[in-house]
Structure 1
Amino acid sequence: MKVLMLVGGLENDGKENYTQPFVDRQIEAIKHAGIKVITYNFKGWQKSYNYFLKLPDVRRLIINQKIDVVHAHYSYCAFIAMLKVPVPIVVSLMGSDLLGTFTPGGKVSFRGRFDRWITQKIVRFADWIIVKSQRMANALPLGVPYTIIPNGVNTEVFHPGDKRQARKRLGLNANTRYILFAANPNNPNKNFMLAQKSIEFMNRINLPWKVELLVLYGKPHWEVAEYMRAADVLLMTSYSEGSPNVVKEALCCNLPVISTDVGDVAEQIQGAIPSTIVPFEPKIIAGKIKEVLFYNKTVDFKDHRKRLDQKNTVKQIIDIYQNLINNNRSVV
């Protein structure tokens, strides 16, 4: 089996604030599973029209390399589906392409509305769609074939560990309670202001220790995992998400999650007590953080680790490839 991966960018492109390292990791995991992979990078982050200009190159690559299946990561990488190509096309939607991006006021931006419109058109031409949550599946046009597969987690990197030792390695205070905000604070969709206001409320409460908001962004994934082992709570205040990897990675590190009701977070944290969903209210969020900080039972989200292991999600993706290839050959 030979798979052509179509991506808008890669981690080694040199782009500042690269936001989709999970795509790189998924591709590497599929290679590790024994699939022959060719990756074509549109570098759409440099010029948006690359997604159109480079389509002839992609078409030639499909023919010349005798590709069995194309897997486009992000809707704009899947314009090839609108052309007549002799192989099945799988499209993994990221979340923002299908659901839109949001303004600081929590409304869908103009670009977000455009992305949603384009994505609704593109998915009708693909052979199979992979979405990351039920909320995304509900946004697809009727009749479009899909499978819900959240991004898997490399559990060899994201795993539990000794909190005191992690803090020592990172130079963090042993007695402070750290609330981890693992997102770009300058991205309006991440709603960093709500996180700040929530911690301000926390500091008005009489607590036996200092509470600090720890902002983490643009770090390698091994370092993110170390911070997750060192923190006390992961706080997510986004207006919208697809299937945020940071939540799944936190669960694999036994880090409780407090999040607004976005994407598939409610599904992912089910059973991961004391994790919880909160409204966009800083006072309520502060109260929930307090509850988690005073939770005195040992947490072990081992069932979540097993379910989210990247090896399992990759197997599901390869099964989709194989089924589509078999169906394509039977038609031919």
Structure 2
Amino acid sequence: MGNEHRLLTLVVCLVLGGGLLAAVLGASRAAGSRAHTSAGSGAAVEYVDIRDVPPGPAEPRPAGPDASTGTVTVECGRNEEGHYNEDNLVVSPGLTAGAHHTHAYVGNLSTTALSTDATLAAAPTSCRGGDRSTYYWPVLRRTDRAGGGAHESSAGHGNAGAILAEEAVGVEFRGNPVGKVVPMPRFLRGMTGDAVAFTAASDADVRARWGCSGSPGRSTTRYPRCPAGERVTRTLVFPSCWNGLDTQSAGHRSHLAFPAANGVCPTGTFPVPELRLSLAYEVPPEVPLALDSFPEQRHSAKTDHAMFVNAMTDRQMQGVVDCLNEGRHCRI
């Protein structure tokens, strides 16, 4: 009887010990996973190896004789001028530091929250062809280094770290795969992406895509880990169906809409040139990243967004439209 009791005690101890060990190992793995996804910037910062991301669907092919198949590249540099501020002319005009995070710019060199159509039209620009439009987006930071520049510590609201300068900035307009485009009105305001996507009820307005320069067919809404020698990329495509009436609207979205997957614009809207911003960064291996965001958005890559104000002259915009509709590939 004593031997049986001792044997039973031994079995119970082994079972309990095994369960405890499994719990400890499981907690250890979970902690390691959280440390990987939240390095330096809160649990919303998630990384994915771009090689684990499946290729995305192909873009719609031009269909029919009315497709506008051209492209226009606007050469505006990569913010060599160091144009940064915490303003947002599209979303919070007139409110200095209203963005609560730092934006980087190309194009119009005067843009602040206090800009007007008249000041934009008269300002210098970084674009070689004289386009005075303003194109801007939240900065990307590496959180393993403290920022020392004028706009690396002024944003506050949990946005900290050294700003990663863009190695390349692409400003490109494309046509519509099923029809001709019409000119954008001067001083049209536009935005893409969702700055509050982390706490939003759905991902309906999440548009920005992250990727790696060597994998153009793969994109993600998380921070990508790229193979050695490749750049981290951000691609921000703007809505290109205009209601024909307004240059701005409540919520900054209803006057512009995205076409359907086949390129067809919603009823009551007209296709205008599709703006694409392409950003590229040199990021050392395993460096922790954080997009500037509102505090409650916790630097989630899903909150990436961008804005623009079209300040091209009517003649410049007509040149863009002609190039797209005639199927040419132009640089201005």
| Same structural fold, with TM-score higher than 0.5 when normalized by the shorter chain | no
Shorter-chain TM-score bucket reads under 0.3
Structure with a larger share of its residues in helix: 1
Length-normalised TM-score, structure 2: 0.22
Length-normalised TM-score, structure 1: 0.22
Structure with a larger share of its residues in strand: 2
Structure label with greater radius of gyration: 2
